[in-house]
Every structure is written in C-alpha cells, then in structure tokens.
Amino acid sequence: MRVRVNAASPFARKVRIVARETGLAERIEEIETTVSPIAPNKELAGANPLVKIPALLLDDGTTLYDSRVICEYLDAAAGGRLFSQGEARWPALRLQALCDGILDAAVLTRYEVAVRPEASRWNEWIAGQRLKIDGGLSALDEAQPGFGASFGIGQIGAACVLGYLDFRFPEIDWRARHPRLKDWFAQVLARPSVRDTTPRA
C-alpha cells in the first residue's frame, strides 16, 4: 500500500499514527505530497478528486480517502482495535468528529493567514474559526477524564489537534486553559507513533 501524506498535515498524521499503532507501517509506503488549495496537485487528483491528503492507494488500484475512511480501513485490516465496537463506538466516533472539526477550523485559518494575500485577509472569518477551535478544545478537555489509558481513534485525533496547534498556532497557548489536556498530552508524547510523526514544515 502507498499513502499520500506530508509531514505538516494533521489529517495525514492521523493515518500515520494509525499505521504505526496497528503495526502496518512497514507495509505502507509514505509518499511526501505537496498540497495547496490554490495550486491543486495534479498527481494527487488521480488518487483523490478533492485533491487533499491523506489518500491511500491500495495494491489493486483502489484509492481511499479521507482520513476517517483510511484510518478505519487500516484498523480493520489489522484486526480492529482502535475503533470501539457496540455502544462505545458512538462516543469514539464523536470524539474523532470533534477533533476533525477543530482541525478543519485550524487548517482553514492557516490557509487564510499563510495563503491568502494579507491585503484581503478576513479577520472576522478568522475570529469565527477561532471560536470553533476554542469551543472544540473546551469539549475535548471535558472529554479527557473519560480517555482512561486508551489510545483509540478519538485520542489519536486529540493528539493530532494538540500537536498541530503547537506547530502552527503556539500563540493559542491551549495548555494555560486546559491543564488536564496538558498532562495527558505530555504522556502521549512518549508514544513512538506520536514521536515519530511530530509535525514539521
């Protein structure tokens, strides 16, 4: 299998962590792929018509996207451990959705700040995304006591959120407002799957 990713993308990081946590990483070649919403990568469009990473290319030519589908596919291929079953599945999927929503707001803000010309930057829009990030972080903080020792898809999403905020938005200083998340993330940073995938430009 091959997967289109890059080292800065938090959505690609979800997949890269799942690959490592499931023991499948050695069977997956990671292809470093540049993306930009204003200069669509034509090669990537063959794997994902939305021209976004991550995109998984299976050996039979099938492609899978987005991060949610790829993570669940890899987990199922490895025996299914990271996606809870039964009644526990819904809170786990909701936690994943919460983290994906925070990441959507953060990535869109990043594009607004780093891609859009400064003269046409829309500060009210950035403020609206910031409300989603802040509200999402508060919900994540409330959910944290329920994490226990598990590191399933919801916790993997949370690690990607906190790592991405540290990487692109250190000024948000989420640790000051969410000491529970701070302590949890300090422990999670010791996992090889998380250490190995530290975001970089």
Ligand X SMILES: N[C@@H](CCC(=O)N[C@@H](CS)C(=O)NCC(=O)O)C(=O)O
Answer for which of 18, 47, 54, 84 binds ligand X (CB under 6 A) is 54
Q: Are 132 and 101 in contact (CB under 8 A)?
A: yes
Asked if residue 49 binds ligand X (CB under 6 A), the reply is no
Strands in 76-183 per DSSP E: none
Q: Are 84 and 72 in contact (CB under 8 A)?
A: no
Residue with tokens 């070649």: 29
CB 88, min distance to ligand X, A: 22
Number of helices (H), then strands (E), belonging to the chain: the values are 9, 4
What are phi and psi for residue 2, nearest 5 degrees?
Answer: -125, 150
Answer for which of 5, 19, 35, 160 binds ligand X (CB under 6 A) is 35
How far, in Å, CA of 187 to CA of 194, rounded? 10
The H or E element containing residue 15 is helix 10-21
Answer for which of 5, 47, 51, 82 binds ligand X (CB under 6 A) is 51
CB 1, min distance to ligand X, A: 16
Q: By CB under 6 A, which span of 21-29, 61-69, 135-143, 147-155 interacts with ligand X? A: 61-69
Q: By CB under 6 A, which span of 9-17, 19-27, 88-96, 130-138 interacts with ligand X? A: 9-17
DSSP string, 78-103: TTS-SS--GGGHHHHHHHHHHHHHHH
Answer for which of 21, 30, 66, 75 binds ligand X (CB under 6 A) is 66
Applying the rule CB under 6 A, the residues between 84 and 143 that interact with ligand X are 100, 107
What would the x/- binding string for ligand X be over residues 153 to 172, using CB under 6 A?
--------------------
Binding site for ligand X (CB under 6 A): 9-11, 35, 37, 51-54, 66-68, 100, 107
